[in-house]
């Protein structure tokens, strides 16, 4: 079997440009612009919580009271919740929060336990303040990080994945070629390679054309909590004879769609909010 010939270095940009032009034409034909979720404001009754001066997230009043009762030393104030753990080390903060989450799980307050840790970094920083169970990030409103890959073809179509009906979040909706949360201690590159192989059966090779397209934040109410995810978006050009194949059971099927077809599905809210935002980021980031 001969190796595929390398594509011209500008082939990815040409495919993206053609897809973007068709996407814009499709949007003009729709009754209204397809709604794309971005980070907005949480419900007005939600309460911000802090560790020292570091903002951690937003909590519903019920969850704020629950955390105040189980995570020491925490103080409930008029319009905020303060966790007085800023002098502690990151491992000490991580252990205290993880113990609290385990306790809340035992009491039946924390569904969807994943046995997977996420890391939290303060805005503008890259040193983790703490790490804790992934489900706890969603429950407590802390921002998490994820990698999303837009899979383009040279004929200006895009591969998208339909999420498994068994997924806890957004079952059956359309997603990007692959998407997944960045685990604690994992680099973006490692996450990218892992998710591409697990979800789409693709191993990155030298002949692949890949470009980082920046970040986008999407905020929404999820399972009673306010969650913001920071999406690290990549565009990838697949070879002509390359077809994604799921390996981890998280994808029902893959669809190869034109820009007009995909714009219509985004417009009809058949895609996850994260996937819709990642598509726009991939098309329009400078």
For residue 78, is pLDDT > 60? yes
Which tens digit of pLDDT belongs to each residue from 150-196? 999 999 999 999 999 998 889 999 999 999 999 999 999 999 999 99
Where b means 16+ CB within 10 Å and e means fewer, 191-226 reads: bbebbbebbbbbeeeeebbeeebeebebbbebeebb
For residue 276, is pLDDT > 90? yes
Residue 73 DSSP class: S
pLDDT of residue 6: 53
For residue 18, is pLDDT > 90? yes
Grouping H, G, I as helix, E, B as strand and the rest as coil, residue 62 is helix
Beta bridge partners of 200: none
Which residue in this structure is represented by tokens 């404001």?
41
Which tens digit of pLDDT belongs to each residue from 197-255? 999 999 999 889 999 999 999 998 887 889 899 999 999 999 888 999 999 999 999 99
Q: What is the DSSP string of 116-172?
A: -EEEEE-TT--SEEEEEEHHHHHHHTB-EEEEEEEEE-TTSEEEEEEEPTT-SSSTT
Which structure tokens are listed for 139? 């429950």
Rounded CA-CA distance 248/12 in Å is 27
Cβ count within 10 A of residue 232: 20
> The pTM is what?
0.92
For residue 34, is pLDDT > 50? no
For residues 1-29, average pLDDT = 81
Are the beta carbons of 146 and 278 closer than 8 angstroms? Answer: no
Rounded CA-CA distance 250/173 in Å is 12
For residues 259-265, average pLDDT = 96
pLDDT of residue 5: 54
For residue 260, is pLDDT > 60? yes
For residue 105, is pLDDT > 60? yes
Which tens digit of pLDDT belongs to each residue from 39-70? 578 999 999 999 999 999 999 999 999 999 99
pLDDT of residue 7: 62
Query: Which stretch of 3-7, 184-188, 261-265, 267-271 has the lowest confidence by average pLDDT?
Result: 3-7
- Structural domains in the chain, CATH included, are 11-39+144-284 (3.90.79.10), 47-140 (3.30.750.160)
Mean pLDDT of the chain: 92
Reported as a pLDDT band with limits 50, 70 and 90, residue 28 is confident
pLDDT of residue 113: 92
């Amino acid at each position: 079997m001969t190796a595929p010939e390398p594509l011209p270095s500008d082939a990815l940009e040409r495919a993206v440009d053609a897809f973007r032009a068709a996407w814009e034409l499709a949007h003009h034909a729709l009754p209204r612009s397809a709604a794309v979720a971005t980070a907005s404001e949480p419900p007005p009754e939600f309460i911000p919580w802090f560790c020292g001066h570091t903002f951690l997230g937003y909590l519903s009043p019920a969850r704020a009271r629950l955390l105040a009762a189980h995570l020491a030393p925490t103080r409930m104030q008029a319009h905020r919740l303060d966790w007085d753990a800023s002098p502690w080390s990151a491992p000490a903060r991580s252990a205290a929060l993880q113990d609290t989450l385990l306790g809340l799980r035992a009491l039946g307050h924390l569904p969807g336990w994943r046995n997977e840790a996420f890391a939290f970094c303060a805005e503008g920083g890259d040193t983790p303040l703490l790490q804790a169970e992934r489900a706890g990030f969603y429950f407590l409103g802390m921002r998490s990080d994820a990698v999303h890959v837009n899979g383009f073809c040279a004929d200006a179509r895009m591969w998208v994945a339909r999420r498994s009906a068994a997924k806890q979040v957004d079952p059956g909706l359309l997603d990007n070629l692959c998407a997944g949360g960045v685990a604690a201690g994992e680099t973006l590159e490692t996450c990218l390679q892992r998710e591409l192989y697990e979800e789409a059966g693709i191993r990155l090779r030298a002949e692949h054309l890949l470009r980082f397209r920046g970040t986008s934040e999407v905020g929404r109410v999820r399972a009673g909590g306010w969650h913001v995810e920071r999406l690290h978006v990549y565009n990838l050009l697949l070879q002509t004879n390359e077809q994604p194949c799921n390996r981890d059971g998280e994808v029902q099927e893959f669809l190869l769609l034109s820009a007009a077809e995909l714009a219509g599905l985004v417009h009809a809210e058949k895609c996850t909010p994260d996937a819709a935002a990642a598509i726009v980021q991939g098309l329009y980031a400078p």
